[in-house]
Amino acid sequence: MDPNLVHEINQLKLTVTNYEYQYYVLDNPTVPDAEFDRLFAKIKALELEFPELVSSDSPTQRVGGKPLSKFEQIDHKLPMLSLDNVFDETGILHFLQRISTKISHENIIEFVAEPKLDGIAVSLFYRDGVLEYGATRGDGSSGENITQNVRTIKSIPLRLIGDGFPVELEVRGEIYMPNDSFQHLNENAVKHGEKVFVNPRNAAAGSLRQLDSNITASRKLSMCAYSLGFSSENTLPDNHYDTLKILETWGFAINDEMRKLSDQQEFIRYCDALSAKRSSLGYEIDGIVFKVNRFDLQGELGFVSRAPRWAVAYKFPAQEEVTTLLDVEFQVGRTGAITPVARLEPVFVGGVTVSNATLHNMQEIERLNIEIGDKVIVRRAGDVIPKIVSCIIAKRPANSIKITIPANCPECNSPIKVEEAGVIARCTGKSICSAQLKESIKHFASRKALDIEGLGDKLVEQLVDKELVSSIVDLYKLDLNNLVLLERMAEKSAKNIIEALQQSKQVSFSRFIYGLGIPEVGETTSEQLASYFPDFESLCSANSDTLISLPDIGPIVAKNIQTFFSQQGVLEMLKAFSVIGFQFENRSTPVIVSSIANKKIVITGTLPNMSRDELKQLLKANGVKVQGSVSKNTDFLVAGASAGSKLQKAKDLGVEVISEEAILTMLEL
């Protein structure tokens, strides 16, 4: 074999492995996808031509060939232990007290806190830096050999990067399914009439136990390393935190939320902070793991039964509980969509009392096979709207009632039409339906649309119920005489509403488009339309090809836009807005290219001179990419007063933190 050829393919493998690490572990891709695909294809072509060059650590070998007939058992180098649980602040305090009484140490004992991912624990064994096998926890002493499946997970290195790692290395971690992957998996299952998974953990477990690794590869799982198992050499750091940091340099993903703590106050603050951001993490967690940091102190503390004394799992309040489905009511949205809402016997779940849950549509009711009177399992994750995930058929009462969609709208009595393959039901009342009108006005006045201060939900309800408005345009015909007659509306408040309505007539073109509530046209799409079309005349007459040529607009959204602007009532409404003096700002404004164009910036806290939204629009106009959350590829965090978790995360990741004044200086303003 030509040594130059061997060297070439080895270098290619090393390069692609590093690119995978940057993309899947660091979330900071350094090359375009096309370049990665080109190098990957080159390796594949060389291996096809020279099969003797294929190695187990090649990026092309993540997915196995022939499905397994069964999983073999494999022994762990060291036992995989379980943790004792605590459920409240008192439990955490008792854990700290036990540690302090058992360790006679002069210095403050340092702990490490990490989110407890709701996934499947695994052990990965490497020999000479190459993945040899992966196994489930099993009974703690041995587990199932799932090597063929763990190889498909892109955040698991097939070969360790860098150097200095032991000849034999066992790493423990949690394999989980990110929320977006879970949602995509269930959407596909519904589309093909297949069974859906109840939660991401079940989906991850089911994916790992597939005998065909091609199925596992399609599920888009991730892995987060959380501890060291066995090491053949005593050269690693003497503490847990630094060991995980070393594992990260060798190619493993570790959790960004990991923190060092030293006292009870820091424990409680960490619990509160992680609980608050739980729903925005992008993956499921069911608690927090606290560990003594130093390995020598861990050894001093030892174990009780099969659990270590030096670690504990604080479990969040249960996110699933059983309750009774009392009734199903049907609500009408601004587009006329009829949404079934479950009325439940109140139950405490996820830290709050839940009495309502969304059922989405009739197809979801059929999938769940639920009836009124059933015992149902309700799930609430963080701030997410509660939902019914399943029902207990065995406990169905004899007098249960089947759920059927009404023939007429519960608000205006107009006929209900079922469309989109029987999934979506809509009220046909449109302008005569008070429910649709209320929701349309609320959307029009919302912060991201025209931001009409004082025009809240309760006031909108009154305006429609008392027939003071019958369209969005009627808002601008209101006067003091009719406003002061409303409940809890003093003259000063009425004047403020009139003033806010007048001020809203000067608005950006993109905000106005968004406020119209075109189906599936959000903020980003509205901005695209406003930057391309100079006025409503050109937008209303745009053909499908022109619309689809714009970023993020596909055939369905293009059709929604055309259908919306083809309605006679919409055209008359736009003319009315023009007559009452609306002036649209920033129409087709070209993006200014500044010195920080294409930089990724996050804004947090209260700024001294402008709102976050005003700065966001200014940055976008200068070609800056404004992000919603801090990550390793964020360039700057603009922080004002009372900045919270984003500021802490920026500091932890080494992201530069700057002031409003500094960012304006960069923009040369």
Burial classification of residue 459, based on how many CB atoms lie within 10 Å of its CB (0-12 exposed, 13-18 middle, 19 or more buried): buried
Choosing from 44, 66, 77, 116, the catalytic residue is 116
> Do residues 396 and 390 lie in contact, with contact meaning Cβ atoms separated by under 8 Å?
no
> Do residues 163 and 80 lie in contact, with contact meaning Cβ atoms separated by under 8 Å?
no
Vertex 240, ends 130 and 94: CA angle to 5°?
140
Query: Which residue type, as a one-letter code, is found at position 548?
Result: I
Enclosing H/E stretch for 96 = helix 89-102
**Residue 45: which residues within 8 A CB-CB, separation 6 or more?**
none
Which tokens belong to 251?
Answer: 């190619």
Place of tokens 């714009």: 550
Sign of CA dihedral 216, 180, 255, 97: negative
> Do residues 581 and 608 lie in contact, with contact meaning Cβ atoms separated by under 8 Å?
no
> Do residues 49 and 69 lie in contact, with contact meaning Cβ atoms separated by under 8 Å?
no
Query: What is the DSSP annotation of 528-571?
Result: HHHHH-SSHHHHHT--HHHHHTSTT--HHHHHHHHHHHT-HHHH
Q: How far apart are CA 664 and CA 48, in angstroms?
A: 55
**Residue 182: which residues within 8 A CB-CB, separation 6 or more?**
197, 199, 200, 203
> Do residues 31 and 19 lie in contact, with contact meaning Cβ atoms separated by under 8 Å?
yes
Measured between alpha carbons, how far apart are the two ends of the chain, in Å? 63
Q: How far apart are CA 149 and CA 208, in angstroms?
A: 6
Active site residue 191: no
Question: How is the chain split among helix, strand and coil, in percent rounded to 5?
Answer: 40, 25, 40
Angstrom CA distances, 339 to 20, 188, 375, 418, stand at 42, 21, 21, 12
How many CB atoms are closer than 10 A to CB 395? Answer: 12
Strand partners, 47: none
Query: What is the DSSP annotation of 475-534?
Result: GGG--HHHHTTSTT--HHHHHHHHHHHHHTTEEEHHHHHHHTT-TT--HHHHHHHHHH-S
Strand ranges, E, within 307-395: 307-308, 311-315, 320-332, 338-349, 352-358, 375-379, 387-391
Alpha carbon 36 to chain centroid distance?
26
Which tokens belong to 136?
Answer: 């489930």
> Do residues 277 and 255 lie in contact, with contact meaning Cβ atoms separated by under 8 Å?
no
Nearest to 358 by CA among 325, 327, 385: 385
Burial classification of residue 151, based on how many CB atoms lie within 10 Å of its CB (0-12 exposed, 13-18 middle, 19 or more buried): buried
Q: How far apart are CA 382 and CA 384, in angstroms?
A: 6
Active site residues: 116
